[in-house]
Amino acid sequence: MAHGGAPGSRDVNPDVVRAIARLRAEHVLSAGQADLFARVARRGLVSIRFEIRALLYAGVLLLTSGVGILVALHHQEIGPLVIATGISLAAAACLLWVARRAAPFSWAEVTSPSVAFDYVLLLGLLLLGSALAYVEMQFTVLGPRWAYHLLIAGVVYLLAAYRWDSRTALGLALATLAAWRGLSISLVPAATLGPGVAADLRASAIALGALYVGAAALSARLGRKAHFEEVFASAGLLLLLGGLLSGVLDDHRAWDLWLVALLVVAGGVMAVALRLGRSLYFAAGLVAAYIALVRVLFVPFRYGRHADSIPLLLAALLGSVVLGVIFWAHRRMRGR
Amino acid sequence: MRREAIAWERAAEVHAAARGWRRTGAIDEATHRRIHETFPDPCVTPGAVWRVLTGGMVAAIVLCALAAMALSVWRSATEIQVLLLLWGAACLVATDVLEASPRSARRGAAGVTSILGVGFFLMGLGLVLVETVRLRGDDAVDVLLVAAVLTCGLAAWRWGSPLFTGLAGGALFCALARLPQGRLLWLLAGAALAGAAAGRLDDGRLAPSHRIGAAVLTVVGIGAMYAAANVYSLDEGLLEHLARLAPVREDLPRGARLAAAAATALLPLAVLAWGLGARRTFLLDTGIVLLALSLVTLRHYVQVAPLWVVLAVSGALLVALALAVERALRRARAGELAGFTAEPLFSDERRQQALQIVPVVTALTPEARAPSPEPGFAGEGGRFGGGGAQEKF
């Protein structure tokens, strides 16, 4: 490897370059280590992996959008059989490419053979999903149970995620299965499952969320694709806590029961998160509990002169308590 | 920035690099520990989730308390103005106190109080200008933009926040757009800013966060130049709409459109060449984004093919280009070509892969089916999606 920095520039990260020189002089780093680290710090060697990933992602997005528009605008001119065959062949080509390059199946984490692998797999799965949707739309194979094509797509994505060890495909599978039950996985569950949400949607969210959380626990406990745990658990907690929260915010007759259920579940999630050292799960439980408790604060102050200001002040005080809990939990997790 | 805060930042830079070395197994645990002992960092640095959680909760506390006080004391507009200015001042003082302590500087609270403080101050000032001083709308906007440049610039200088650096740059260009010959000023000031900031990117005397601020200003300067030079922006008078007076559509000078068209094509390539030559990934990223914008501009003027062809072909080309670059780098000697590699080096590959799940799920998941009662399939309507496209037919 050649040494030296980028042409016409000084150090990319002068602090790290200076530190490497000192660590080498004090024999903390060997000469070989220091040379490699200094070369990267001086921008003599630069990784463009992120840029390659971004190009692949944008390419997949554009390509699938183009196919979608083609089908939408020209399906009558081209003919349904040609379209279905064309998309299926393209999907098969992508999946064949993936199958030929994939490492043998393992329950442990498998390193991708190349940076493009995940994206070609993603493209193949999306085209396959589009083909399924199109065939169902044109030929009504499933009849009145047309929505089951989402279940089929979700299961195919799930199988692909396990076979080719892709957390991206797993995320897509979980979101597609949620879509089959009429749910959107979003970062703001209260917004999507908020006012006006149907009771069956809420029940679906809670059931599916519990199922995903259970799958996360099983993945970790059995050591079968244990690294899928965080994808399962994140999606599951969004649905589970979002469903319970929508009950607190939206069900005016039984909101108190929903509140108890939410606090119990959120407390359990936070306790488990503390034990396992998972900050994201702890955050999900805490935020859900805080939002639910803020709703309670507004109930006794519906009328009167300070109907708005007192609950807001109490919400601020409650926030201070929650802030204390955050500091305590962080200290405890760091200690572990 | 305080001298001790700069020292903490420098130590944190070394720790971050050492974490990368340890993650890839380039150093062992004992070496990692010795690096920490050689460059002690007294700051408590929680992970991103804790920082977001803390920041979000601090924002909730501050906003709820302000809203409660505003509802209690609101009798006239003056009281709200005073309250906003006082609350802004309190947040700014709190930020300075939090930034001074290694126990609180990096917890996420200081970032939120600084944003809220500057926001409250500017809102309060805006209300004072309009309701108390009774300035005309255009004058108030001008004063507010200058105040935003100064306030955000001071905040960036004092606390080293790249966000405030970007906001100060944005406010500066908005203020310039309101002057006569705004487009020309954008071109000149953009070039000057990008040149000046790029010269400080590797200046070891600057704090690490100020060096990031220099990178932000370089991008802002390039963006301003591109916005001023883009042929669509020129045709539509986009910058002129920001001016104090309503734009008067005059005939463009001879050759101006041609020059703008050439700049639209050449500027992204120049930025890409700069990024490749200097091996700076943020310039490469900027060049790629500008190139995409130029292609969209080209498509607006020259409709060589239907939209679906353009999307599908450009998508296929992007995938092919990325595959070719990755393949060339992988097959090159020692996996590198002209100082570039497709290897992750010391970055956290696993974290990047985890983060990419969010945009994939957000953009590419099929739309949720309609809630019950199940409507059945009618045949003549519906949506086709799953590929990021949702078209009715």
> Higher confidence at residue B383 or residue A209?
A209
Is the confidence at residue B213, as pLDDT, over 50? yes
Q: How many helices, marked H, and strands, marked E, lie in chain A?
A: 13, 1
Mean pLDDT of chain A: 87
The pLDDT value recorded for residue A10 is 43
Instruction: Count Cβ atoms below 10 Å from residue B376 Cβ, excluding itself.
Output: 12
Instruction: Give the largest Cα separation in chain B, rounded.
Output: 74
Query: B125: closest CA among B148, B95, B155?
Result: B148
On the question of a cis peptide bond just before residue B373, with omega within 30 degrees of 0, the verdict is yes
- Average pLDDT for chain B: 87
Q: How confident is the model at residue B380 (pLDDT cuts 50, 70, 90)?
A: very low
Cα distance from B3 to chain A (closest Cα, Å)? 15
> What pLDDT sits at residue B249?
61
- What b/e string do you get for B25-62 counting C-beta neighbours within 10 Å, with b at 16 or more? ebbeeebbebbeeebebebbebeebbbbbbbbbbbbbb
Under 8 Å CB-to-CB from A89, ≥6 apart: which residues? Answer: none
Query: What ipTM did this prediction achieve?
Result: 0.85
Residue A112 has pLDDT above 90, yes or no: no
For the segment A54-109, what is each residue's pLDDT rounded down to a tens digit?
899 899 889 888 888 888 787 777 788 888 898 999 999 999 999 999 999 999 99
Any CB–CB contact under 8 A between A30 and chain B? no
Q: Chain B residues with CB inside 8 Å of A145's CB?
A: 374
* pLDDT exceeds 80 at position A186: no
The closest CB to that of A185, out of B201, B347, B361, belongs to B361
Q: How far is CA A298 from the centre of its chain?
A: 33
Q: Say what the pLDDT of residue A199 is.
A: 79
Q: Does A138 touch chain B (CB under 8 A)?
A: no
Percent of chain B with pLDDT over 90: 61
Category of B152 on φ-ψ map: left (φ > 0), alpha (ψ -120 to 50) or beta: alpha
Comparing B109 with B390, the larger pLDDT belongs to B109
Is residue B117's pLDDT more than 90?
A: yes
Does residue A197 have a pLDDT over 70? no
Whether B175 shows a pLDDT value over 80: the answer reads yes
Interval B303-326 mean pLDDT? 88
Contacts of A50 in chain B (CB under 8 A): 281, 347, 352
pLDDT in tens, A241-267: 999 999 998 888 888 999 999 999 999
A217 touches chain B (CB under 8 A): no
Residue B305: the pLDDT is: 82
The pLDDT value given to residue A298: 83
| Count of CB atoms situated within 10 Å of the CB of B325 | 18
Closest by Cβ to A171, choosing from B288, B323, B357 = B357
Q: Residue A275's CB: how many other CB atoms inside 10 A? A: 10
Residue in B307, B310, B319 closest to A60 by CB: B319
A190 shares contact with chain B (CB less than 8 Å): no
Return phi, psi of residue A42, to 5°: -90, 5
Query: How far is CA A100 from its chain centroid?
Result: 27
- Of B313, B360, B368, nearest to A122 by CB-CB distance is B360
Q: What's the pLDDT at B389?
A: 39
For an interface test with A, give the residue of B8, B64, B201 to mutate (most A CBs within 10 A): B64
Across the interface, whether the CB atoms of B369 and A182 are under 8 A apart is answered yes
pLDDT digits (tens, 9 = 90+) for A31-60: 999 999 999 998 899 999 989 988 998 998
User: In this model, does residue B75 exceed pLDDT 60?
Assistant: yes
User: Hey, of B41, B209, B319, B383, which one would you mutate to test binding to chain A, going by the most A CBs within 10 A of its CB?
Assistant: B319
CB within 8 Å of chain B, chain A residues 158-177: 167-168, 171-172, 174-176
Q: Is the Cβ–Cβ distance between B374 and A147 less than 8 Å?
A: yes
pLDDT of the residue at A149:
85
Check pLDDT > 50 for residue A2. Answer: no
Would the pLDDT of A9 be above 60?
no
Could you tell me the pLDDT band of residue A310, with boundaries at 50, 70 and 90? confident
Token pair 């600057």 in the structure block, residue? B206
What six digits make up the tokens of A96? 């064949």
CA angle B259, B264, B267 (to 5 degrees): 100
